[in-house]
A and B are shown apart, each in its own frame.
Chain A
Amino acid sequence: MNKSTAAMTSPQQGRTFYRTMVLRRQVILLGLLGALFLSFCVDLALGPARYELTEVLSALLTPGSVSEQISVIVWQIRMPVALMAIVVGASLSIAGAQMQTILSNPLASPFTLGISAGAGFGAALALAFGVSIVPFAVDYIVPINAFLVAMLTALMIHLLSMRRGVTIETIVLLGIAMVFIFNALMALIQFFASQQALSAVVFWTMGSLTKATWPKVWVSLAVLAIAIPLLARHGWALTAMRLGDAKAESMGVRPRRLRLQVLMLVSLLASVSVAFVGTIGFIGLVGPHIARMLVGEDQRFFLPASALCGALILSVGSVISKMLIPGTVIPIGIITSLVGIPFFLFLVLNQKKSIW
C-alpha cells in the first residue's frame, strides 16, 4: 500500500516461500513415516522368544514354511500388538489434536474431557462387579462398557454445550468436572472390589497393548479409517477454528456445528482405543504438540503429523516395554509417560518460538 517503501518485494516471494515450506513438511511427514515403519519392524522382530531376523521374515513372508510356534508368535502375538500400537497411537493423538483445535486449549486431550476417565469407569464396573450395561456380548463386556460410558460422557458434554451462552471454556470445565466425578466413582469401585478384581482394574487403568487381538485391531482401524477422511474434509475449516470463532465465522465456517461434529467424532476415536487397550495417557496430549512444533497447524500437515507422532510414540513405547524386563509385560502407559514426558519437556524448553 505504500509504493515508496524501499523494500518493495517481488510478487513471487510469498509463493516461493510457501512451496519451500510445503516441501519441508512433506519431507518431515515422510521421515516420520519411515521412523514409524522402522519401529514397527523392530517391534515385530523383538520378543522374549529370541528368533533370528530371518526366521521372523520367513514367518511373515511364507507363514507355511515355519513352525507353528513362530507363526503364532509373529502373527497372533507380535503382529496385533505392533499394529494396535500404531492404530491406537494415531487415534489418541488425532483425538487430542482435534480437541486442542476445536477447544482452543493446549491442555485438551481425551483425558481432559473425561472421556478416558469415563471409559475407565465403565471398564472397572465390568472388571470388579461384572456389571454389564448391555446384557449380551459377555466376551466383550469390558470394552463395551468402557465404550458406552465414554460415549455417554461425550454426549453429555455435547448436550450441555448446546445450551445458550456455553463457551469453549465452559466445555473444558465440564470435562474437568467429569474427570473428577469418574475418578471418585473409580475410587469407590476400588474400595469395594475384591483383591483379584482390584489388580485387574489397576492393570487395566495402566493401559496395555497385550489385550490386542485381530478383531480389536480391525475395529480400531475401521474407526480410524472412517474418522480421518471426515476430519480431512473439514481440514480448512478446522485450521480456521484456530483463528477464533469470529474469524472462522467470517470465513464461512460454522464453529458451533463443526465443534460438536468433531467432538463426537474424536470421542468415538478415543473411546474405542481406550476401551480396547485401557487408558494410555499422555499420547493424546503430547502427540499433537510435537506435531505442531514440526509442521505447524495447517490441518493438511497437522492431521497426518499428529497421527504419525502418536503412532510412533506408542510403537517405540511398545518396543521399550518389551525390552525393559524381557518376558514380563510392563504396562505401556507407564513407559510412554516415563520416556515421553522428558522428551516432550526437552522439546518444549528448547523451543525458540512460543507455542500457545
Chain B
Amino acid sequence: MKDIPTFGGFKDGTFDVEQAASLKPDVVFMNIEAQTATEDAGYEDKLAALGIPIVYVDFREDPIKDTPASIRLMGRLLDKENEAERFINFSNQQMARVTDVIEQADPERPRVFIDRAGGYSDDCCMSFGPHNFGDYVRIAGGQNIADDIIPNTFGTLNPEQIIASNPQQVVVTGGDWEAYVPGGAWVGVGPGADMTEARRKLEALTHRTAMTGIDAVKHDRVHAIWHQFYNSPYYFVAIQQLAKWFHPDLFKDLDPDATLRELHERFLPLTYQPGYWVSLEAEDE
C-alpha cells in the first residue's frame, strides 16, 4: 500500500495529468463529483489521446444507489467480476438483515440528530440532509431531524433547532483529525482507535449548548461512528450499527463488529482492527 503513489488536489479534478500519464495506467478512476472539473480541464481528451480511459465511480453522492454499479464496473475493468459480485451479494445480504426487520416490525422511529464531524470546529452543528447518512438513518429505522430542514446532503443546523427537535438519539461522525485540528474536540473513532479517549471526547461533546436537556443526552443515547462511512462501500456496516443503536431489542443478534471482521477477512488484504464506533450507553449494558 505504501508503494501506491498519491496525487494532490483530487477533489477539484485538477490532479496532475502529467503524473497520471507517466504512471501509464490502463484506466483512471475518478469520483463522480470531479466529473465536471475533469471535463472542463479537457483531461478526458488528453488521457484518451494516450489511450487511457477515465471511469467515474461514486461512493459518496448517493452511496446506496451507486455503490453496486461502481463495484461491478471496477470488477469488470479489473477482471475481478466474481469478487465484485460476491462483494455485492455480501453487501445486499447484510443490508437485508436490517431492512427486512425494519419492514416487518415497522417500529416507532426515534428522532435522530447526526452531528457531522462534531467537535471539528466550534461551530454547531453541521449535519446531513435526507441523503448519505440521512439515508442510513432512515434505513436503520430512525428519523433524521434535519430531513425537512437541510435541502441537500450537507448543511448546518441552528443549534436551537436541535434543542427544539429534542432528538432521542445522537450520532456523531468522527475520525482522527489530529493533522487538521490538533487536540480538537472531535471523536477519533476509526481502525485501532483509543476507545477510552474516544468515549471521553464523545462525553465532552454532550456538554455543548445545543445538547442541553435533549432526551438523547438524558438517556445516554449518544454515539460516535467513523466519519468515512459516508464515503465508503462499507456503509452497510454503519447502517447495521445505527439499527442496533436505534432498536436494540429488534437487533439483539446483529453483530456489526462481526460483519466488518468478515468483510476484512473475505475481501480485504488488511487485518481487521476494531474501533469504528463508540457509545455512551455501552457501560450500562
Which residue numbers of A lie inside 8 Å of B, CB to CB?
Answer: 47-50, 67-69, 72-73, 76-78, 127-130, 132, 138-139, 142, 191-192, 194-200, 203-204, 208, 210-211, 322, 325-329
A49 and B163 contacting across the interface, CB-CB below 8 Å: yes
With A72-B163, A72-B212 already in contact, the answer to whether A210 and B158 are too (CB < 8 A) is yes
With A138-B182, A196-B177, A203-B156 already in contact, the answer to whether A73 and B163 are too (CB < 8 A) is yes
Q: How far is the CA of A329 from the CA of B150 in the complex (A)?
A: 9
- Contact residues in A for B146 (Cβ distance below 8 Å): 327-328
B120 at the interface (CB under 8 A from A): yes
Give chain B's interface residue range (CB within 8 Å of chain A): 35 or more
B5 at the interface (CB under 8 A from A): no
The list of the 7 closest CB pairs from A to B, nearest first, reads A49-B164, A327-B149, A327-B161, A48-B161, A72-B212, A130-B182, A69-B213
With A48-B158, A328-B157, A329-B156 already in contact, the answer to whether A142 and B213 are too (CB < 8 A) is no
B159 and A77 contacting across the interface, CB-CB below 8 Å: yes
A203 and B161 contacting across the interface, CB-CB below 8 Å: no
Q: Which of A138, A199, A204, A328 has the most CB of B within 10 A?
A: A328
Q: How far is the CA of A31 from the CA of B274 in the complex (A)?
A: 64
- Contact residues in B for A78 (Cβ distance below 8 Å): 160
Q: How far is the CA of A335 from the CA of B117 in the complex (A)?
A: 26
In addition to A77-B159, A130-B184, A322-B158, 17 A-B residue pairs with Cβ atoms within 8 Å of each other are A47-B160, A48-B160, A68-B213, A77-B160, A128-B180, A138-B182, A142-B122, A192-B9, A197-B180, A199-B154, A200-B123, A204-B121, A210-B158, A327-B146, A328-B150, A328-B155, A329-B156
- Contact residues in A for B164 (Cβ distance below 8 Å): 47-50, 73, 327
A129 and B180 contacting across the interface, CB-CB below 8 Å: yes
B269 at the interface (CB under 8 A from A): no
Q: Which of B122, B158, B227 has the most CB of A within 10 A?
A: B158
Q: How far is the CA of A328 from the CA of B158 in the complex (A)?
A: 5
B124 at the interface (CB under 8 A from A): yes
Q: How far is the CA of A322 from the CA of B156 in the complex (A)?
A: 12
Q: How far is the CA of A303 from the CA of B281 in the complex (A)?
A: 56
B194 at the interface (CB under 8 A from A): no
A191 and B183 contacting across the interface, CB-CB below 8 Å: no
Question: Which listed residue (A69, A194, A203, A322) contacts B163, Cβ 8 A?
Answer: A69
Q: How far is the CA of A47 from the CA of B162 in the complex (A)?
A: 11
A-B contact pairs, 24 of them (CB 8 A): A48-B160, A48-B164, A49-B160, A50-B164, A68-B212, A69-B213, A72-B213, A77-B163, A129-B179, A130-B179, A138-B183, A192-B8, A203-B156, A204-B121, A208-B123, A210-B124, A211-B123, A325-B149, A326-B158, A327-B157, A328-B155, A328-B156, A328-B161, A329-B157
- Contact residues in B for A326 (Cβ distance below 8 Å): 149, 158, 161
- B150 CB to nearest A CB, Å: 6
- Contact residues in A for B117 (Cβ distance below 8 Å): 196
- Contact residues in A for B209 (Cβ distance below 8 Å): 72, 76-77
- Contact residues in A for B180 (Cβ distance below 8 Å): 127-130, 194, 196-197
A203 and B123 contacting across the interface, CB-CB below 8 Å: yes
- Contact residues in A for B159 (Cβ distance below 8 Å): 77, 210
- B185 CB to nearest A CB, Å: 9
- Contact residues in B for A50 (Cβ distance below 8 Å): 164
Residue of B nearest to A74 (CB): B160
Q: How far is the CA of A329 from the CA of B213 in the complex (A)?
A: 21
**Can you list, as one digit per residue, whether each of B206-224 has a CB less than 8 Å from chain A (1) or not (0)?**
0001101100000000000
Q: How far is the CA of A115 from the CA of B9 in the complex (A)?
A: 28
- B223 CB to nearest A CB, Å: 19
Question: Which listed residue (B11, B124, B212) contacts A69, Cβ 8 A?
Answer: B212
- Contact residues in B for A191 (Cβ distance below 8 Å): 8-9, 12, 14
B42 at the interface (CB under 8 A from A): no
- B218 CB to nearest A CB, Å: 11
- Contact residues in A for B182 (Cβ distance below 8 Å): 130, 132, 138
Q: Which of B121, B124, B160, B209 has the most CB of A within 10 A?
A: B160
- Contact residues in B for A211 (Cβ distance below 8 Å): 122-123
Residue of A nearest to B60 (CB): A195
B107 at the interface (CB under 8 A from A): no
B258 at the interface (CB under 8 A from A): no
B151 at the interface (CB under 8 A from A): yes
- A10 CB to nearest B CB, Å: 61
Q: How far is the CA of A161 from the CA of B120 in the complex (A)?
A: 40
With A68-B213, A72-B163, A77-B209 already in contact, the answer to whether A200 and B179 are too (CB < 8 A) is no
- Contact residues in A for B212 (Cβ distance below 8 Å): 68-69, 72, 76
B37 at the interface (CB under 8 A from A): no
- Contact residues in B for A69 (Cβ distance below 8 Å): 163, 212-213
- B208 CB to nearest A CB, Å: 10
Q: How far is the CA of A284 from the CA of B99 in the complex (A)?
A: 54
Question: Which listed residue (A130, A199, A210) contacts B181, Cβ 8 A?
Answer: A130
- Contact residues in A for B163 (Cβ distance below 8 Å): 49, 69, 72-73, 77
Q: Which of A132, A142, A327 has the most CB of B within 10 A?
A: A327
- B285 CB to nearest A CB, Å: 28
A196 and B120 contacting across the interface, CB-CB below 8 Å: yes
Q: How far is the CA of A138 from the CA of B184 in the complex (A)?
A: 8
- Contact residues in B for A325 (Cβ distance below 8 Å): 149, 151
- Contact residues in B for A327 (Cβ distance below 8 Å): 146, 149, 157-158, 161, 164
- Contact residues in A for B122 (Cβ distance below 8 Å): 139, 142, 211
**Can you list, as one digit per residue, whether each of B133-152 has a CB less than 8 Å from chain A (1) or not (0)?**
00000000000001001110
- Contact residues in A for B177 (Cβ distance below 8 Å): 196
- Contact residues in B for A194 (Cβ distance below 8 Å): 180
Question: Which listed residue (B150, B151, B157, B158) contacts A47, Cβ 8 A?
Answer: B158
